[in-house]
Amino acid sequence: MKRWNVLPLMLLAVLFFVSACSGGTAQTGVDPGAAANPGSNTEAAEINKEAGAEEKTADVPDLGGRVIKVAAWWDLKPAGETASDKARLDKIAEVEKKYNVKIEFVNVPFEEYMNKFTTSVLAGEPFADIVQMEYKSALPAILKGQLLPLSEFTTADNNINQEGNLIAKYPAIAGSEYAFESPTSIGLGLHYNRDLFKKLSLPDPQELYEKGEWNWDKFLEIAKLAAKDTDNDGKIDVYGFSGWAIDVIRHFTAANGGTIADDVNRKEGLSDPKTIEAAEFVKRLYNVENVVKVKTGDKTNWEETNTFKDGDVALFTAAEWQLGDLTFSVGVVPIPNGPQGSKNVTYANNTAAAKFIAKGVKDPKVVYQIYEETFDIPQIEEYPGQDYLESLYTDERDIQMIREHIAGTGRILLDDAYTGYPIGDYVNDIIKNNASVTATAEKYKAQAQAAIDKLGKQ
């Protein structure tokens, strides 16, 4: 309940009395007495300002020194190395004083993280008030009722439900919105070795994209042009493409309008015609055109994600965080759309992660409000993530390509959330064993659907 300050009410009564005695002056919006005594309005405004400040202070809860914990598997505390970091550290200190709290950033090793989350939530005492979590881990937690939807801890007045420039809603999961995170401008693209492209006189993918010519056929054409025996020893020493086959199929499926597993409709996607078409294309890259470098000797080895770092691969799927310490210049373009794809979706985001609030957190609305306020700082960057992107890309064209054509085009993929989902066996049969894609989809279709159904029953 709001506390009414008596002083402004008394002042209002006096003003009504003076007005009545003035003989009913016309209401022009100007107080005749104010002209005679210009200080009176200023004095009244100051009194009202002080009253409003008292009321506002009364509405801010005093949390009595409570520790608000924000957890991840790395240190989320701003390092203080950039102007934005320094501004946020100052804001955190201001918010701590305002609410009488202490904000603590908890760093838990990745391999221990989810076990700590689950055991603490089941005990009714979440180990942190705000938790970083991968979507693939969040889905089981949501289905078990362990995470709160945004509607339970945000209000219409929160920034997330208005501008969203401080904290943004992240994509829905299991049909509802649960996740929040700082706005960002990143996304996974198809990178290319600019030095190699220049050496081999290959057409620039960004120019092809701008002309509307960037598609699977053009991608394959360039990959084939790049695969060369440059030293004439009878062996290919420059390659057209590299990547982890499982993720390559995931990405090209998304770029063709499909998904490996549909968490919204709770349906397997291995037998979807769009997935089959994408798998056929990737199989062609590996087993027909032979443009792919396989450094480990195992086409489905996860370590192939870093094969591009050798500098002898023209095109490769990679996230921006993989680009550190390269000895060559890189460019980036969206993964090309397939025949059934659209520019709205260009890759599979199977590593999506964001912040969540667990069931059992005390006063979640206040906790969220406090967290959101720590981001209410002067916007020093021209756009969210500017410092980060400029630390990785030296060419403004790449940053523009990411911001305008890649960021926000990832389709959330949660096949890893379903225990026993046969994506690994599916890809092994197709890529390593060169099996029929259609027959392989039929072979694993029931197992895939059973994995999805099983999670929903837990």
Q: How far is CA 274 from CA 52, 107, 340, 358, 440, in A?
A: 60, 40, 7, 36, 15
Higher pLDDT, 25 or 364: 364
Among the residue ranges 30-39, 127-136, 278-287, 381-390, the one predicted with the least confidence is 30-39
Q: What is the pLDDT of residue 387?
A: 85
- Cα torsion 359, 365, 371, 376 to 10°: value is 150
Does the pLDDT at position 167 exceed 50? yes
Residue 13: band (very low, low, confident or very high) from pLDDT cuts 50, 70, 90: very low
Higher pLDDT, 379 or 147: 147
Residue 300's identity, in one-letter code, is T
pLDDT digits (tens, 9 = 90+) for 185-210: 899 999 999 999 999 999 999 999 99
- Euclidean distance between CA atoms 380 and 392, whole angstroms: 19
Tokens in use for 97?
């004083």
pLDDT digits (tens, 9 = 90+) for 16-55: 333 333 333 333 333 333 333 334 444 444 444 444 444 4
What is the pLDDT of the chain when averaged over all its residues?
Answer: 88
pLDDT digits (tens, 9 = 90+) for 79-93: 988 888 899 999 999
Does the pLDDT at position 246 exceed 90? yes
Higher pLDDT, 392 or 38: 392
Q: What is the pLDDT of residue 42?
A: 45
Residue 120: band (very low, low, confident or very high) from pLDDT cuts 50, 70, 90: very high
Q: What is the pLDDT of residue 18?
A: 32
pLDDT digits (tens, 9 = 90+) for 258-281: 999 998 889 999 999 999 999 999
The SS3 assignment for 270 reads coil
Q: What is the pLDDT of residue 325?
A: 87
Q: What is the pLDDT of residue 7?
A: 33
Q: What is the pLDDT of residue 381?
A: 85
Q: What is the pLDDT of residue 56?
A: 44
Residue 154: band (very low, low, confident or very high) from pLDDT cuts 50, 70, 90: very high
CB-based contacts of 249, cutoff 8 Å, min separation 6:
260, 275, 278, 279, 282, 427, 430, 431
Q: What is the pLDDT of residue 232?
A: 85
Segment (H or E) for 199: helix 194-200
pLDDT digits (tens, 9 = 90+) for 288-347: 999 999 999 999 999 999 999 999 999 999 999 999 889 999 999 999 999 999 999 999
Q: What is the pLDDT of residue 51?
A: 44
Residue 170: band (very low, low, confident or very high) from pLDDT cuts 50, 70, 90: very high
Q: What is the mean pLDDT of residues 365-374?
A: 98
pTM reported for the whole predicted model: 0.82
Residue 231: band (very low, low, confident or very high) from pLDDT cuts 50, 70, 90: confident
- The DSSP-derived string for 40-84 is HHHHHHHHHHHHHHHHHHHHS---TTEEEEEEESS--S--S-SHH
Q: What is the pLDDT of residue 58?
A: 52
Q: What is the pLDDT of residue 44?
A: 46
pLDDT digits (tens, 9 = 90+) for 403-425: 999 999 999 999 999 999 999 99
Residue 457: band (very low, low, confident or very high) from pLDDT cuts 50, 70, 90: low
pLDDT digits (tens, 9 = 90+) for 55-84: 445 589 999 999 999 999 999 999 988 888
Higher pLDDT, 409 or 231: 409
Residue 400's identity, in one-letter code, is Q
Q: What is the pLDDT of residue 264?
A: 85
* Sign of the torsion formed by the C-alpha atoms of 261, 262, 263 and 265: negative
Residue 184: band (very low, low, confident or very high) from pLDDT cuts 50, 70, 90: confident
- Euclidean distance between CA atoms 443 and 410, whole angstroms: 28
Give the strands of the sheet with 101-107, arranged side by side: 101-107, 66-72, 130-134, 353-356, 180-181, 168-169
Does the pLDDT at position 349 exceed 60? yes
Q: Walk me through the domains of the chain, giving residue ranges and CATH numbers.
A: 66-183+352-380 (3.40.190.10), 189-350+399-457 (3.40.190.10)
In the chain, what is the straight-line distance between the N-terminal and C-terminal CA atoms, in Å?
43
